[in-house]
Amino acid sequence: MPVVKTPLPRGLLADDALPLYERTAAQLLDDLRATAACAGDRLPSERALATRYGVSRVTLRAALAELEARGIVRPTSSRGWFVAELDQSAEPAAASVATAPQVQGFADYAEVNGLTASSRVLSATVRPATVPESEHLRIAPGADLFDLHRLRFLDDLVVVLEHNRLPLTVCPALADTDFNNASLYATLRAADPPQLPRVADYSVEARHPTPREMELLETGDTMPMLVATQLTFNQDDRPIELTVQVYRGDRYRFRASITNRT
């Protein structure tokens, strides 16, 4: 495989490099423990917390949603966020968050590796789901499906042609979001209720590029494509995303840990 100077994506299943919202959740949980917070205590406002941790409101809400999914905080309709249950004897927050199942998105990978991610949307539509798509995503055939095609870049170098399909019901805001600039996973985390990508079925195969892929990915016909198919599940074990990613073979490397659970 040719060597390139740009760091290679190592596969989008998370490793020890946490996305910003996970690190923010860990910091917030550590602070709650340090101040001996109790169930029923009210948290500062989202604006104040975002300022404290130096993150956007979207990232802060994703961090709160992460802690809500773990039963640590709870929201109310008009009064903000409250501590639900806090185990002071539990393991450190950073360790517990790091071991929680999660899926790392393209923008997450870029962030933790100091790279600049960018996208060019080729098409973004809402259409009826086909029968095979409905079977994968556990929705009715013909249900509204958000269909997104993008070219993805790292430091202005094209890396992958990506096709995402998501049930519109999981996040209606998908249809009105500009994914030339927005992160798909950040949009899901900010949904109401939040959609937290937890685990994914992931497969990779190599093949020759199509003429359109050669044009978009700026390759010749001798460059192999690595095609990844991913079905992602949320915190409730519900499938929320079916994605096919076509990578340039010289700008992608997949790594995974294989564990014998028996």
- CA dist 152 and 156 (Å) reads 9
DSSP category for residue 209? P
Q: Which structure tokens are listed for 94?
A: 């950073």
Q: Which structure tokens are listed for 57?
A: 């409101």
The tens place of each residue's pLDDT in the chain, 262 residues long, gives 233 333 344 344 444 456 788 888 888 998 888 888 888 889 999 899 999 999 888 888 888 888 888 888 888 877 789 998 776 544 455 545 444 556 778 887 888 778 899 999 999 999 999 999 999 999 999 999 999 999 999 999 999 999 999 999 999 999 999 999 999 998 998 888 889 888 899 999 999 999 999 999 999 888 899 999 999 998 888 999 999 999 999 988 877 766 655 5
255 assigned to some structural domain: no
* CATH for 120: 3.40.1410.10
**Res 111: pLDDT:** 80
- CA dist 213 and 209 (Å) reads 6
**Res 12: pLDDT:** 44
Q: Name the domain count of the chain.
A: 2
Same domain, 127 and 90: no
4 assigned to some structural domain: no
Q: Please report where in the chains the tokens 């899926």 appear, as a residue.
A: 103
Give the contacts of 163 (CB within 8 A, at least 6 positions apart).
147, 148, 149, 243, 244, 245
**Res 101: pLDDT:** 54
* CATH for 56: 1.10.10.10
- Report in angstroms the alpha-carbon separations of 82 from 31, 43, 47, 79: 14, 6, 15, 9
**Res 258: pLDDT:** 66
Same domain, 74 and 112: no
14 assigned to some structural domain: no
Give the contacts of 72 (CB within 8 A, at least 6 positions apart).
29, 32, 83, 84, 85, 86
Residue 91 belongs to what domain range?
20-99
**Res 257: pLDDT:** 66
Same domain, 239 and 134: yes
b/e code 73-105 from CB counts within 10 Å (16+ = b): bebeeeeebebbebeeeeeebbeebbebebbbb
Cis-peptide, bond into residue 193, ω within 30° of zero: yes
